[in-house]
A and B are shown apart, each in its own frame.
Chain A
Amino acid sequence: MRRAIWVALALSALVLAPDSSVAQGLPFHTETALTTAFEQRGLRLISSYRPRDSVSAVVTPLVILPFAPHQRVATRVVVPLVYKRVTTSRVGGGTPYSEAGVGDVSVAAKWAFFVRDRFAGTTRFALVGGVSLPTGRTSARFEDGSGAPRPLQLGTGAVSGGATLVGTMIRGQWGVSADVGHRRHATADDFQFGASTRYNLALGLRLPAHVETIRTKTWQLYLEWNGSIAARSRTGGNEIGDSGGHVAFLSPGLQFVPLPQLLLEASLQIPVLQNLNGSQLDHGLRPTIGARFLFF
């Protein structure tokens, strides 16, 4: 019965996709077509600092609970703990404020529909889908009582979801993963975030080249390209000029595996392309640290 619930959850979630920041791949922000072992459970804790311009800051620790109800299916529940802070009156015309709490909880599933293993390597393709629920608060207000803009709220206020196609190829110590996904948001309170398409590419190098046993301590170096193209958001049936655009980050990262069931990681997302519509806050450097645990 319990397994049936997980399978039903996985299948229902396949229709839609999660945010790239909760990618459960060995890379940081790019998905992977690899799945965890059958019935294997895990935990990923990741904290990402996401400043935009010098006037706002966002810290997003994420709790991710992956589980595999089948050897080719992996599910995950993501509970984001969000802290947002606005430090000047430039944003939204109000006074400074800060908000902290649970953001939008999402459920997702990954199905590896193509698997071709080989000696010390593999080629796999997977479909990832998920839904994000409006669990995060949207009632934040500036000190003068005016409502904060929707992008500054803890949650989006609306259901969203989409699908992502991902491919992973590993040959010896080298690995490459790539994904492309589309995400759409429902309308809530007469506001709709613009649909977005994200695309990611990750190149990984495992050190040492020869891994004697699974208890050999290993390092993994990554270089990722993380891109996102978003349409303008809409309110009152009209597009918001100062929204949407094309953003891309170059993201070097380092992972350390001291034990076969433990992975420590850190990465830095460097904004290299910010073709934003209208007048918007620029993205700053985004450092990320995290740890992953595997258990049954």
Chain B
Amino acid sequence: MWKLNLARLTGVGAVAAMFAVATPAAVAQESRSETGPAAKAEELAEANVLLRVDGMSCPFCAYGLEKRLREIPAIDELVIRVSDGLVQIRLVSGAELTDEELNEAVKRAGFSLREIQRLES
């Protein structure tokens, strides 16, 4: 049941995968779910865009940013790392996403976009 819930919650698998890469806690997480998080870990390695966002302080405040970014069709998956002030984005294959679109989404969520990094996947 635990695995099933993880798989169904949008983005949770990706979050668990980040734990797996970055922290010991993720190892435990991955051991509880052998398929979803592991698969997501590979997908996260394919992040195309990295945003540095100022002003994020808690999950409840940052929820609006996730909702705004998920409304953009070019975004396939994303993970918001609150304390690091980072947003990892994986684009839909072949899709393009302009800086203006990203800046507008962050601004409307009530935060300040400091930097956009385009990553080689």
Contacts and interface: CB of A to CB of B under 8 A. Distances in A.
Interface string B97-108: 000000000011
A121 B19 contact: no
Contact of B110 (A34, A206, A215): A34
A117 interface: yes
Interface string A219-242: 010000000000000000000000
Given A212-B18, A214-B59, A260-B59, A37 B54 contact: no
Contacts of A212: 15, 18-19, 22-23, 81-83
A26 B60 contact: yes
A59 interface: no
A296 B114 CA distance: 26
Contacts of A39: 108
Given A120-B83, A212-B23, A212-B81, A40 B64 contact: yes
Interface in B66-97: 66-68, 79-83, 85
B12 A215 contact: yes
Nearest to A32: B61
A216 interface: yes
Contacts of B83: 120, 172, 209-212
B59 A257 contact: yes
A168 to B, nearest CB: 10
Contact of B57 (A40, A72, A206, A294): A206
Max chain B C-beta neighbours (<10 A), residue from A206, A209, A220? A206
B41 interface: no
Interface string B1-27: 000000000011001001100110000
B54 A214 contact: no
Contact of B79 (A117, A119, A211, A213): A213
Interface in A97-124: 115, 117-122
B56 interface: yes
Contacts of A115: 55, 112
B60 A263 contact: yes
Q: Could you say which interface size class chain A belongs to?
A: 35 or more
Contacts of A119: 54, 85, 114
B29 to A, nearest CB: 11
A179 B54 CA distance: 24
Nearest to A70: B108
Max chain A C-beta neighbours (<10 A), residue from B12, B59, B64, B68? B59
Interface of B: 11-12, 15, 18-19, 22-23, 54-68, 79-83, 85, 107-112, 114
Interface of A: 26, 34-40, 71-72, 115, 117-122, 170, 172, 175, 206, 209-216, 218, 220, 257, 260-261, 263, 292, 294, 296
13 contacts: A35-B110, A37-B67, A71-B108, A120-B57, A120-B82, A120-B83, A170-B57, A206-B58, A212-B18, A212-B23, A214-B66, A257-B60, A294-B60
Given A34-B110, A214-B82, 7 more contacts: A26-B60, A117-B111, A120-B83, A121-B57, A214-B62, A257-B59, A257-B60
